[in-house]
Amino acid sequence: MIDNETLDTMLWKKVPRIKLELNFAQIKAIADLFAHIVDYKSPFTSNHSMGVAEGAEKISRFMGFDEDICQKMYIGGALHDIGKVAIGNEILEKPEKLTDEEFKTMKHHAVYTYYILSGIDDFEEIRDWAALHHKKLNGKGYPFGKTADELNKPERIMACIDIYQALTEDRPYKKGLSHDKACGILDDMAQKGFVDSDISNKIRDCFG
């Protein structure tokens, strides 16, 4: 009987490695596919990844970023929750407040996103923008221990868009908030030092 590790080694030796160069449209199509897989894993998050992708691209363009950054922001948004494929639905769909242990497990999805995307060549920027969507400017949040000075603009945008999208989208257990109410919550978070106030203001203008 061949164990899995030995089998993997044998296959890697026998199967040729192929490196493909994909254009943006092809990468976008693949990102969309994985976004739908993540979103359809649970009705609680249906269309969330696609909403973040579209929102991240829209606000980036509104803020004057070049086309390359805007396209990468779309991909990062589409893939930001890909780590949730490793989280059980009993946690993703739990209607009650998560226990400390369950929340600890849930937080792992951001780390999983980081490591999944680390396996793709030239995805370092997209990986970081996607994986750090739960980081706060006051050093709180997850994963990793980045401070405000270490969080770049795209990472700050992704954090704000993830919150805005979660607040405004309908879910089985709640009706989405209006644009003004969602922006009010973002503004409050900005005043508390959690998110970037400039981006919060830009979201109000861009999506209003």
All structural domains of the chain with their residue ranges: 22-207
Residue 157 in contact with residue 73, Cβ under 8 Å?
A: yes
Q: How many CB atoms lie within 10 A of CB 100?
A: 7
CATH code for the domain defined by 22-207: 1.10.3210.10
Structure tokens, 52: 């973040």
Query: How distant, in Å, are the alpha carbons of 18, 154, 161 from that of 149?
Result: 39, 13, 19
Tell me the mean pLDDT in the region 73-102: 94
**pLDDT tens, position by position, 146-168:** 999 999 999 999 999 999 999 99
Predicted confidence (pLDDT) at residue 135 exceeds the cutoff of 60: yes
Compute the chain's Rg from CA coordinates: 18
Predicted confidence (pLDDT) at residue 15 exceeds the cutoff of 70: no
Residue 204 dihedral angles phi and psi, to the nearest 5°: -60, -45
41 is catalytic: no
Rounded Cα distance, 7 and 10, in Å: 5
Rounded Cα distance, 177 and 168, in Å: 5
Task: Please name the amino acid found at residue 139.
Answer: G
In the block, residue with structure tokens 């868009």:
161
**pLDDT tens, position by position, 44-75:** 777 899 999 999 999 999 999 999 999 999 99
Rounded Cα distance, 107 and 100, in Å: 11
Residue 113 in contact with residue 129, Cβ under 8 Å?
A: no
Supply the pLDDT for residue 3.
59
Which of these, 190, 199, 189, 192, lies nearest to 156 by C-alpha position? 199
Predicted confidence (pLDDT) at residue 197 exceeds the cutoff of 80: yes
Supply the pLDDT for residue 173.
77
The rounded mean pLDDT for the chain is 91
Predicted confidence (pLDDT) at residue 19 exceeds the cutoff of 80: no
Q: How many CB atoms lie within 10 A of CB 113?
A: 26
The residue that leads in pLDDT, 46 or 115, is 115
> Which of 19, 41, 58, 84 is flagged as catalytic?
84
Tell me the mean pLDDT in the region 85-95: 90
Model confidence at 10, pLDDT cuts 50, 70, 90, reads low
Structure tokens, 104: 């600890």
pTM as predicted: 0.88
